Amino acid sequence: MTESIRRSGEYENFENPYQAQSSAPVNPEWPPPPAYQPVPQQPVQQQVQQQVQQPVVEPTAVWQTQAAAGGSGHGNGNDGGTALLTAEPAPAKKKRARGPLALLAAVAIVAAAIGGGTAYGIQELTGKDEVVSSSTTTSVVPSSKTGDVASIAAAVSPSVVEVSATLSNGTSTGSGVIITSGGEIVTNNHVISGANSIKVTTSDGKSYTAKVVGTDSKKDLALIKLENASGLKAATLGDSDGVKVGDTVVAIGSPEGLTGTVTSGIVSALNRDVTVSTDESQSQGQGQQGGGDGSWPFQFGGQEFNGDTGSSTTTYKALQTDASLNPGNSGGALIDASGNIIGINSAMYSAATDSSSSSDAGSVGLGFAIPINTVKADLAGLRAGGSDS
């Protein structure tokens, strides 16, 4: 039996911090006791309750609170723990705050890129490299020349052509708008309806033979394609939904066969119900040699203008303009202040009742155009042959 031996006086003056809690002898092989009073451990339930009540702070703040707990619980009013609890938590919350700001900044950059750039409606045509140029924000003319009629005319005139259709008993003359560099042209259905052959003359005087691709008499639209054409200047199609009454507009066409005639005015009304004929025989009234007064008959506001529209008619919503339109402007371009096509001119009122009253003929400031958004929505159908095929 081993017996613990203790020499007299040994460990007599050593203050044992655990003496108040235990009277057990001290083994000399034990490690020396800590030099500070241990922090009493709180019950687990109380710790959990404090963790729930106290705000979440960063690791640095937690260390300082623990260090403060080691000191006196009664200070002079500058209690470290209290100051730490009211201190602002740092980095993590600031990172979270920057998240929405970064998202907003990214959205703003994307919006600016879209709003400030050029929008193009890409549509597959007969040639894979041909596209219809379409934009709601593009300025065809320089921004400093916006609204300048001379600049608009210079920029857009190469995209407007004269269309001459040979009929069984005469000719029909109108206008058209080039929409692809390969020679696709939009015009009015009544300009080419019933044609045996179609000849197109560009602004530089070149002549082409054209074939009908598709027609839509209900919208008075037609799509024709030039033969052996390339490198033509296509017009930029705008957004007719953004047009407002009072907007400046320019009209380009071939009234009375006068190619490249330019007039200007404003949009005088929106969404006018215009009724026109869908009968092919009515197209003869448009021609210079086909009889009639050379005007396309239409109905508006319960009245008939330029003759009888016949029994077969259709009604569409149109832009109204006071830009001078005359016989031959049909199928031509109505252009906004930035040089974008916003409509295809289709009907105009002429005061003359017959060809002998030429002194009374001419524009009285009442013209109508098919909105370009209607044209764009109908292009796929026209390329497929149209609704009349």
CA distance 34 to 13: 17
CA distance 389 to 386: 6
Mean pLDDT value across residues 308-332: 92
The answer on pLDDT for 116 being more than 70 is: no
Question: Tens digits of per-residue pLDDT, 46-63?
Answer: 554 555 555 554 554 444
Mean pLDDT value across residues 93-121: 49
CA distance 219 to 123: 21
- The residues near 230 (Cβ < 8 Å, ≥ 6 apart) are 181, 182, 183
CA distance 305 to 206: 35
- Where would I find the H helices in the chain? 44-53, 59-69, 80-85, 91-116, 149-156, 189-192, 372-383
Mean pLDDT value across residues 294-309: 81
DSSP states of 30-80: SPPPPSSPPPPPPPHHHHHHHHHHSPP--HHHHHHHHHHHTS-S--SS--H
Mean pLDDT of the chain: 75
pLDDT band at residue 100 under the 50/70/90 scheme: low
340 by Cβ neighbours in 10 Å (0-12 / 13-18 / 19+) ranks as buried
218 by Cβ neighbours in 10 Å (0-12 / 13-18 / 19+) ranks as middle
Percent over 70 (pLDDT), the chain: 57
The answer on pLDDT for 225 being more than 50 is: yes
pTM score of the predicted model: 0.64
The pair of structure tokens assigned to 288 is: 């210079």
Q: Which residues are catalytic?
A: 190, 220, 330
Distance of alpha carbon 213 from its chain centroid, rounded?
29
Which H or E run contains 262? strand 261-277
DSSP code for 137: S
Query: pLDDT at position 151, please?
Result: 97
CA distance 337 to 278: 32
Phi-psi region of 190 (alpha: psi -120 to 50; beta: other; left: phi over 0): alpha
Question: Tens digits of per-residue pLDDT, 336-372?
Answer: 999 999 999 999 887 655 444 444 556 688 999 999 9
CA distance 387 to 142: 39
Instruction: Give the lowest-confidence range in 27-36, 210-219, 313-322.
Output: 27-36
Percent over 90 (pLDDT), the chain: 45
From 262, 276, 371, select the one nearest 320 (Cα to Cα): 371
SS3 content of the chain, % helix, strand, coil (to 5): 25, 25, 50
The answer on pLDDT for 189 being more than 70 is: yes
Query: pLDDT at position 198, please?
Result: 98
Cβ burial 182-208 (10 Å sphere, 16+ → b, else e): bbbbbbbbbbbbbbeebbbbbbeeeeb
From 67, 59, 38, 62, select the one nearest 50 (Cα to Cα): 62
Phi-psi region of 256 (alpha: psi -120 to 50; beta: other; left: phi over 0): left
DSSP code for 237: B
The pair of structure tokens assigned to 3 is: 């017996």
